[in-house]
Amino acid sequence: MPSLISGIVLYFFLPSGGGRGGYRTFLDISRDQWVHMHDFSSFIFAGLIIIHLVLHWKYFRNINRTLVPRKK
């Protein structure tokens, strides 16, 4: 969720580029800080996905047995 929120802020409120002058912020947080929060939360989320896959590996390995009925 934090990655999604920071991505939306970066896309709609603080797009890259800009132009002359102006130190752009949103909610008193600079664009660079939003980028760091976005990157950090994305790495955390990717790590949690890897942990989830490892913990549920038996299920993923045997999912075919669950979805396809056995022939008698």
Contact 53, 60 (CB under 8 A): yes
Of 12, 43, 15, 44, the residue nearest 31 (C-alpha): 15
Main-chain phi, psi angles of 26, to 5 degrees? -140, 125
Ranges of each domain in the chain: 2-15+23-65
pLDDT tens-digit map of 15-42: 776 555 556 788 888 888 888 888 888 8
- Rounded to the nearest integer, the mean pLDDT of the chain is 81
CA geometry: angle 5, 6, 9, nearest 5 deg: 90
Residue 45 CB contacts under 8 Å (≥ 6 apart), including other chains: 3
Q: What is the pTM of this model?
A: 0.63
Of 23, 43, 41, the residue nearest 32 (C-alpha): 23
